[in-house]
Amino acid sequence: MKHFLSLNPLLPIVASFICGITIGFAIQSMLIPIISTALALILWFRHLNYATIISISFTLGAANMLLHLPAHVNEQKSTYRAIAMNCRESESSQIVIAKLISSGSDTSKMHKFPSTEVELIIPTFTPPVQLSDIITFEASFEEINPIRDVPDEITFEDYLLKQGIKYKTILKPEEIISIGKAPGVLNGLRRMRTDISRLIFRSSLSNESKEFLNTIVTGDVSTLTSETRHSFTNAGIAHVLALSGLHVGVISLIITIALWPLNIIGLRKYGILITIVILWAYAAITGLSPSVVRAVIMATIFLASGMMQRRYSSFNTLAFAALLILLFNPMALFSIGFILSFSAVAGILMFGTHLNPISPRHKIPYYIISLPAISISAMLTASAVSAFYFHNFPLYFLIANITISPLLPLCLGIGLVIIIGQLMGFDCAIMCQCFDFIHSVISHIADFVANLPHANIQGLYFPAWLLIPYACAIILLKAGFSKRRSSYILASAMLVAFALTAGFMCKPTFHNDELFVMRRTYHTDICIKSDSNLYLITTAPHQEYETVKSIADYRMRKYMDRRGIDTLSIIKGCFDSRHFSLRNNILGYRNHTIAVVSSDDLSDSKLQKINYAIVCRGYSKSIAEICSALRPDTILLGYDLHPRRHKRYVDECIDMGVAYKSLRESTFHLSANSR
């Protein structure tokens, strides 16, 4: 182990730097770097030089994290200038992730603002906002607080917070002062992503092929159908759709082949420099994601070391890539893309050669066996992290990867020819047909593997601390292979067995039945679990049922997986289950009766004893009429009520002395323990 660290001295330094970032993010206090600096001074005076370097690395990590924490945004209305970093469209608005660069009382008094990303929701499609546009606007921001009505509910706000985005605003068109193109080479390269997508969708490829090519070239997965993403995930080849080292390696190979004539005329160094420049331009075009930047950094060092005839250390290069990325963006440490990318590459470096029994001297057999060896190596280290985040494991990943990996270079090569042809003004019909055929083969393989029996093990939920014994098991396995010690491999197997056993023992128990009122902006949903079934009662119009169901399916996915629920059904009219009954707008659950008041007609509810009356959008009369007709024990004021009407109903409840609960202020749920 000492020899390994002496060859890779950056590994402990980067590990200490990462620890500093983690502690700095968790505690967010200047005391951390101050204490670690004092410790570094003590170690330096005691001539413990390497320990001093480790301590300084920890200090720099903590200080770097504190410097990059999102700045506090004043909630009062001000003028801001921001660069659009990501743009997408929903059914009714533009959603822009923008980086604030300056602020002030008006456009003539703008001052630099600490780099902070915010969410802008523009409820119109005019004016359009595009990538790398500079937007000047007046707005007041509010802090992002995820609304969770159900345990394990998934919200988009959680995703934003994990990316370090803490503030959002609804930006009306009249509040936008100006929109223009951001200057600079980097912003120009970012805008090329949209131009490349436009060229792809202008070609004669089939619609499915256009979406696939756009994804593997630009990294934009927004155009892919959910069915495609689902089949690729279940087949264990989701990494094909996410830009990574595989894509950068293929593009690097294509560039090298294209520049081969430079080697013949003795200009090999210029070919390497051009390759490096193109790779970094590609990283900028695709948004500088951690996985692409990691791959480009490693490719740059590999190419530069070959050009300068220096020794290349893979682990040291991987550590340097992590250090460089985290220096500029320490929040990347908490993104799943960063973690999966580095863990997969670490696995390939650790086990790729050990799992390939063929000598490199036999090139063709060696490269053939490398395909399954690399797939297994990457899965060894990335599978636990992937299972923790995505809660599933593709059982037949090896079959899909072996068959599809050789086809991806062909796809990218032909795709680049199609894009270049479109750029020059002609459509390569033959190339488009070839790409359509290869894409159909890939899609059929993905669908076939995804639909095999037990193709995907789902519902893998376990505490995060179980990743620690698994990581120790991986290190012991590497030591066992390197030192050829079976005792290390046995200890690794025992740790894995412990982690699996602890994971099964840590599974929580859940109620057989639960009821939750889910707060929505324009309607109210009541979600009821009854044994292994999940039902949804909604006040939304019938024509919106499919949209309501798809949103609920997404947000309730984790809740359903953990409780072994397969489907969610919308019910209306009359319905009976073991734990509840529904009669139009009257819901009976255990010993509770709930009236859903979404219209002014209260006639169907007069003969019932009502415990709760949920007042929703659609009711316009007074609380007194509800009390007279229903005589409820408690009034529940729905989240979907207009704010002014909500306030009027609160005042009425207080004046009448009626017990009430506002769903704008708190959640509401019932279970077996509810009284």
Q: pLDDT by residue (tens digit) across 231-285? A: 888 888 888 888 888 788 888 888 888 888 887 887 888 888 999 999 999 999 9
pLDDT, average across residues 540-569: 89
Record the pTM: 0.84
Structure confidence by residue, pLDDT tens digits, 345-385: 999 988 988 888 888 788 788 888 888 888 899 899 998 99
Q: Which DSSP string do the residues of 126-177 spell out, in sequence order?
A: SS---TTEEEEEEE--EE------STT---HHHHHHHTT--EEEE--GGGEE
**Higher-pLDDT residue of 628, 90:** 628
- Polymer length in residues for the chain: 675
- CA gap 609, 632 in Å, rounded: 7
pLDDT, average across residues 320-335: 90
- CA gap 426, 203 in Å, rounded: 9
3-state secondary structure of 456: strand
Structure tokens at 655: 């004046």
- CA gap 403, 518 in Å, rounded: 44
Backbone φ and ψ of 305, nearest 5°:
-65, -35
Name the residue type at position 128: P
Q: Which helix (H) or strand (E) holds 35?
A: helix 31-45
Q: Which helix (H) or strand (E) holds 34?
A: helix 31-45
Query: How confident is the model at residue 3, as a pLDDT?
Result: 58
391, 460, 474, 493, 508 from 500: Cα distances, Å: 14, 11, 14, 11, 15
Q: Does residue 675 surpass a pLDDT of 70?
A: no
pLDDT band at 519 (very low <50, low <70, confident <90, very high): confident
- The gap between the terminal CA atoms of the chain, to the nearest Å, is 61
**Higher-pLDDT residue of 18, 224:** 18
Q: Does residue 211 surpass a pLDDT of 50?
A: yes
pLDDT band at 7 (very low <50, low <70, confident <90, very high): low
Q: Does residue 12 surpass a pLDDT of 70?
A: yes
Under 8 Å between Cβ of 45 and 87: no
Burial string for 406-436 (b: 16+ CB within 10 Å, else e) reads: eebbebbbbbbbbbebbeeeeebeebbebbb
Beta-strand relationship, 580-583 and 586-589 = antiparallel
> What angle, 0 to 180 degrees and rounded to 10, lies between the N-to-C axes of helices 467-483 and 486-505?
170
- CA gap 289, 191 in Å, rounded: 15
Q: Does residue 2 surpass a pLDDT of 90?
A: no
Under 8 Å between Cβ of 315 and 342: no
Under 8 Å between Cβ of 87 and 125: no
pLDDT band at 1 (very low <50, low <70, confident <90, very high): very low
Query: How confident is the model at residue 116, as a pLDDT?
Result: 86
Structure confidence by residue, pLDDT tens digits, 101-123: 998 888 888 888 887 889 999 98
- Among residues 278, 213, 209, the alpha carbon closest in space to that of 248 is found at 278
Q: Which DSSP string do the residues of 250-315 spell out, in sequence order?
A: HHHHHHHHHTHHHHHTT-HHHHHHHHHHHHHHHHHHTT--HHHHHHHHHHHHHHHHHHTT----HH
Give burial (CB, 10 Å; 0-12/13-18/19+) of 321: buried
CA 282 to chain CA centroid, nearest Å: 22
Compute the C-alpha angle 342/377/440, nearest 5°: 90
158, 284, 605, 608, 624 from 630: Cα distances, Å: 39, 62, 6, 7, 10
- CA gap 11, 345 in Å, rounded: 14
Structure tokens at 332: 């990347």
Under 8 Å between Cβ of 94 and 222: no
Mean pLDDT of the chain: 87
Structure tokens at 436: 């359509």
Under 8 Å between Cβ of 377 and 347: yes
Structure tokens at 59: 């200090």
Under 8 Å between Cβ of 492 and 480: yes
Name 595's bridge partners: 586, 613
Name the residue type at position 513: D
- CA gap 7, 315 in Å, rounded: 9
Highest mean pLDDT among 55-64, 398-407, 548-557: 55-64
Q: Which residue is associated with the tokens 């001295």?
A: 9
Percent of the chain with pLDDT over 70: 97
Under 8 Å between Cβ of 316 and 10: yes
Structure confidence by residue, pLDDT tens digits, 553-564: 888 988 998 888
pLDDT, average across residues 46-61: 91
- Among residues 146, 558, 73, 159, the alpha carbon closest in space to that of 331 is found at 159
Query: How confident is the model at residue 11, as a pLDDT?
Result: 87
Structure confidence by residue, pLDDT tens digits, 595-651: 999 988 876 555 568 899 999 999 999 999 999 888 899 999 999 999 999 999 999
Query: How confident is the model at residue 163, as a pLDDT?
Result: 77
Name the residue type at position 335: S
Structure confidence by residue, pLDDT tens digits, 335-353: 888 898 899 999 998 898 8
Percent of the chain with pLDDT over 90: 34
3-state secondary structure of 596: strand
